[in-house]
């Protein structure tokens, strides 16, 4: 990094540790009350309600095309599961306490694409399809949206392209849904993307273009190709408000799940949510929604790999997407393929400035140990990236700076009532032979 840039950045001591590949936690000193922070952002709860209503309109189509969503009546939603045995395992293995209760938000088991991307990615494809159908006079909002499954609609959408750059899971969500609707869909896959994801996508009718380079390159080429083609729509993971709002709907859904399980989130019962972060869209959208619904009673932390902490370097330095992990001498390479991003979304970093509580980083070997733990204790399989979500609950009461956070917020006496939710971001579609391979991977 050049001297001029270095002179401008904040949190230099912490970032020196980050540069040395050390595990750290960054606590956000710019955190504000939810009300104050949200008043500075020009999207609102009304926009989330609008996204939720759109997903409800599409439920009949989703139910028809993906019968596995019958249990949720055509909504794509995942279980919220208390994981008592995992809590005991983590407390013993990592010599920590996780005060309160530990739940897992199993977006790993979302229908259709088996990852958190089934929220934002699929939502954006549906919104685009709706926009096109409305524009061309084929649809009224009051119609039964199961007509999207008709041959006429498929034929109509086959004139249009959808393109996206991805490390894997976003491509799966966009690819599968676009292909089912009839679009010509092109997924630009970075070098980190797993072979089985490319194979699955091709089988479902998507065109897959592979790159030797990282995520940023795949996005850059994808965007350029798409912009040059008037029939093509580019799903822009870094800047899309639509995608972001699709993720944000998760907050309304989890509120309903808490209510159904008789769990109260309020001043006396704080909620801690921990989400693995790549470019930031998924965790950012979920965080925005959670802050809208739970206000100051929710505390959101992200987790990133020590070699690809793009959101941490952007937010802690104050430079957002002007800096990449490579600027700090890091490789950007990680076994957590969903988190293998060198430069965070500037849009998301901006929105998170006063909303996010902090970010933990962890070395790659932990994610395989944590994967074995969740399989052995709860019989739930998660992909490596998703297992980073457990690092926050392990470390929250261990790091002096996060303990300090808890204390300063006046939460110490309330922690016995706390609800901790690691957000399991993916895994159910991982093929058995790959699971076996992961289960036998020991990096240390």
Ligand X SMILES: *Cc1c(COP(=O)(O)O)cnc(C)c1O
Least separation in angstroms between CB 30 and ligand X: 20
Give whichever of 175 and 276 is closer to ligand X, judged by the CB atom. Answer: 276
Which is it for strands 25-27 and 358-362: parallel, antiparallel or unpaired? Answer: antiparallel
Least Å from the CB of residue 54 to ligand X: 20
Report the alpha-carbon distance of residue 107 to residue 104 in Å, rounded: 9
Paired strand residues for 163: 186, 234
CB atoms within 10 A of CB 70: 10
**How near is the Cβ of 264 to ligand X at its closest, in Å?**
28
Task: Report the residue number, 327 or 383, with the smaller CB distance to ligand X.
Answer: 383
Give min distance, CB of 81 to ligand X, in A.
17
CA–CA distance from 1 to each of 6, 20, 34, 316 (Å)? 7, 14, 34, 16
For ligand X, the closer CB: 165 or 270: 165
- The residue among 182 and 309 lying less far from ligand X, judged by its C-beta, is 309
The residues, any chain, with a CB within 8 Å of residue 271's CB and separated by 6 or more, are 265, 290, 294, 297, 298, 299, 418, 419, 421
Angle at 240 between CA 239 and CA 244, to 5 degrees: 115
**338/422 with CB nearer ligand X:** 338
Residue number, 169 or 292, with CB nearest to ligand X: 169
HSE at residue 387, side-chain half, CA atoms within 13 A, is 27
> Least Å distance between CB 159 and ligand X?
30
Buried b / exposed e across 167-192, counting CB within 10 Å, b at 16+? bbbbbbbbbbbbbbbbbbbbbbbbbb
Between residues 282 and 319, which has the closer beta carbon with respect to ligand X?
Answer: 282
280 versus 392: smaller Cβ distance to ligand X: 280
Which own/partner pairs from 227-233 qualify as long-range (CB within 8 Å, at least 24 positions apart)? 229/161, 231/159, 231/160, 231/161, 232/160, 232/161, 232/162, 232/163, 233/128, 233/160, 233/161, 233/162, 233/163
CB of 36 to ligand X, least distance (A): 25
Q: How far is the CB of 283 from ligand X (least distance, A)?
A: 5
Shortest spacing between CB 25 and ligand X, in angstroms: 18
Question: How large is the C-alpha radius of gyration of the chain?
Answer: 21
Sites of contact with ligand X (CB under 6 A): 115-117, 169, 276-283, 338-339, 383, 385-386, 425-426
Handedness of CA 55, 59, 60, 64 (dihedral sign): positive
């Amino acid at each position: 990094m050049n001297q001029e840039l270095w002179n401008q950045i904040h949190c230099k001591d912490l970032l020196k540790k980050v540069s040395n590949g050390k595990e750290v936690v960054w606590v956000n000193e710019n955190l504000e009350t939810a009300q104050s922070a949200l008043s500075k952002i020009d999207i609102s709860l009304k926009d989330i309600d609008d996204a939720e209503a759109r997903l409800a309109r599409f439920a009949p189509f989703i139910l028809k095309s993906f019968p596995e969503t019958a249990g949720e009546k055509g909504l794509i939603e995942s279980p919220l599961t208390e994981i008592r045995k995992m809590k005991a395992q983590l407390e013993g293995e990592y010599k920590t306490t996780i005060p309160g209760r530990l739940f897992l938000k199993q977006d790993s088991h979302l229908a259709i694409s088996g990852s958190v991307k089934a929220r934002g990615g699929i939502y954006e494809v549906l919104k685009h399809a709706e926009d096109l159908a409305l524009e061309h006079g084929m649809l009224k909002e009051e119609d039964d949206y199961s007509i999207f499954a008709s041959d006429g609609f498929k034929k109509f959408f086959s004139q249009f392209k959808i393109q996206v750059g991805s490390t894997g899971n976003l491509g799966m969500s966009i690819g599968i849904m676009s292909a089912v609707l009839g679009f010509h869909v092109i997924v630009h896959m970075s070098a980190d993307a797993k072979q089985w994801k490319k194979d699955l996508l091709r089988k479902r009718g998507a065109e897959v273009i592979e790159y030797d380079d990282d995520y940023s390159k795949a996005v850059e080429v994808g965007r350029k190709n798409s912009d040059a083609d008037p029939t093509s729509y580019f799903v822009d993971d870094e800047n899309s408000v639509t995608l972001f709002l699709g993720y944000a709907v998760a907050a309304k859904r989890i509120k309903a799940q808490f209510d159904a399980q008789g769990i109260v989130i309020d001043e006396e019962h704080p909620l801690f949510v921990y989400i693995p972060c790549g470019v930031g869209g998924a965790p950012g959208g979920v965080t925005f929604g959670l802050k809208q619904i739970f206000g100051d009673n929710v505390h959101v932390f992200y987790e990133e790999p020590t070699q690809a902490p793009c959101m941490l370097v952007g937010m802690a330095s104050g430079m957002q997407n002007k800096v990449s992990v490579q600027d700090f001498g890091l490789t950007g390479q990680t076994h957590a393929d969903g988190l293998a991003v060198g430069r965070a979304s500037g849009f998301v970093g901006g929105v998170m400035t006063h909303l996010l509580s902090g970010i933990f980083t962890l070395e790659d070997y932990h994610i395989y140990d944590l994967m074995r733990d969740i399989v052995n204790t709860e019989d739930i399989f998660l992909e490596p990236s998703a297992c980073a979500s457990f690092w926050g609950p392990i470390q929250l009461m261990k790091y002096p700076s996060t303990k300090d956070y808890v204390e300063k917020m006046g939460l110490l006496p309330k922690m016995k009532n706390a609800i901790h939710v690691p957000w399991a971001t993916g895994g159910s579609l991982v093929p058995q032979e790959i699971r076996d391979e992961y289960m036998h991977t020991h990096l240390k």
